[in-house]
Amino acid sequence: MDSAFRVIAHRGASAEAPENTLPAFRLALEQGASEVELDVRFSSDLEIMVFHDDALDRKTGLRGRFSHYDASALRRTDIGRWFDVTRPHAQRRFAGTCLATLDEVLETLGDRVRYHIEIKDSNPLLPLRLLQAVDAHGLESRVTITSFSMKPLLAVQKVAPERPICFLLRDAHDAVRSAEFRPHLHGKSIEAIQDYWIDAAAEAGFSQVAVRAQDVTPRCIARAADRGVTLRGWGVRDEADLLWLLRIGAVGATVDWPARAIEIVRAHAEDGRR
């Protein structure tokens, strides 16, 4: 793609296939994506699985917390039926699509993409096990580790300080409710909160921060640049959000619709060369 802006397929091509599944990642590649984002959690028997939510109720036929089920049960769990029901106008049907392990995703996609792997689980063993899984597939140079929590990112950095790390900054609503940072954020404006988190990421030695698209401003782009970290967007809702990030200098964004996003980025680059 003739642009430095990085389109990252959020949970794969998740607008058109069940999120965090092999069909979603394959479709993202078919649509031209060279980077994918995915979420990882432990099963009860400590297998690294690819799934976003802490609870299974909304997207699968299982009930309760994800970590209460072993990998065998989770790998038989259908997420495709949820997608079909919630997106009745999608071009394809996905009933029967089940959850995947991280190993299955890495084996399937290999070195054809760059991965942005978000740690969702608070189990302190997960950062190390994640690094071991990535290394076992020879993909250590193609993975950025991300999280909304500092703790797993610091654990990754302690073991593998050379690995790219992206600290995900909470949106304006969640920021003041963060148990991890609440004592430091009470009474602060969203701008002050962004400054605090950008500074914390820089001081920790992380290479990147990610900010919700609606919260990104030229000011926080400049703050990140001044502290030596790049800034990308998350939570891109529509074309307007994406164009905003392009115009103010973000380095990339996660999007649910990579095919359309790639078209927009290319068109923006062409307009800039005219």
For 97-146, write each residue's pLDDT tens digit.
999 999 999 999 999 999 999 999 999 999 999 999 999 999 999 999 99
Q: Is residue 1 part of a domain?
A: no
Q: Determine the pLDDT at residue 183.
A: 72
Q: Determine the pLDDT at residue 54.
A: 97
User: Tens digit of pLDDT for each residue in 138-152?
Assistant: 999 999 999 999 999
Q: Determine the pLDDT at residue 180.
A: 72
Task: Categorize the per-residue pLDDT at 188 as very low, low, confident or very high, splitting at 50, 70 and 90.
Answer: confident
Total number of domains constituting the chain: 1
One-letter-per-residue 3-state SS of 162-196? CCCEEEECCCHHHHCCCCCCHHHHCCCCHHHHHHH
Could you tell me which residues are beta bridge partners of residue 37? 10, 116
Q: Is residue 127 part of a domain?
A: yes
Model confidence at 208: pLDDT above 60: yes
Q: Determine the pLDDT at residue 181.
A: 72
Range of the domain at 216: 6-273
Q: Is residue 166 part of a domain?
A: yes
DSSP annotation of 25: H
What lies within 8 Å, CB to CB, of 200 at 6+ separation is: 150, 167
The answer to whether residues 219 and 193 touch, using CB atoms and an 8 Å cutoff, is no
The answer to whether residues 232 and 261 touch, using CB atoms and an 8 Å cutoff, is no
Model confidence at 57: pLDDT above 80: yes
Q: What is the mean pLDDT of residues 157-172?
A: 92
Q: Is residue 28 part of a domain?
A: yes
Q: Is residue 57 part of a domain?
A: yes
Q: What CATH number is attached to the domain comprising 154? A: 3.20.20.190
Amino acid found at 152: P
Task: Categorize the per-residue pLDDT at 28 as very low, low, confident or very high, splitting at 50, 70 and 90.
Answer: very high
| Chain-centre distance for alpha carbon 54 | 15
Q: Determine the pLDDT at residue 185.
A: 77
Model confidence at 1: pLDDT above 60: no
Q: Is residue 228 part of a domain?
A: yes
3-state secondary structure of 66: helix
Q: Determine the pLDDT at residue 177.
A: 66
Nearest by Cα to 70 from 45, 91, 93, 95:
45
Q: Is residue 196 part of a domain?
A: yes
Mean pLDDT of the chain: 94
Model confidence at 2: pLDDT above 60: no
Please tell me the distance from the alpha carbon of residue 65 to that of residue 69, in angstroms, as a whole number. Answer: 8
Please tell me the distance from the alpha carbon of residue 237 to that of residue 243, in angstroms, as a whole number. Answer: 11
What lies within 8 Å, CB to CB, of 256 at 6+ separation is: 10, 11, 13, 14, 15, 236
Task: Categorize the per-residue pLDDT at 95 as very low, low, confident or very high, splitting at 50, 70 and 90.
Answer: very high
Q: Determine the pLDDT at residue 158.
A: 96
Q: Is residue 17 part of a domain?
A: yes
Task: Categorize the per-residue pLDDT at 179 as very low, low, confident or very high, splitting at 50, 70 and 90.
Answer: confident
Nearest by Cα to 121 from 182, 43, 175, 63:
43
| Higher-scoring residue by pLDDT: 13, 1 | 13
Model confidence at 76: pLDDT above 70: yes
Pairing state between β 48-50 and 35-42: antiparallel
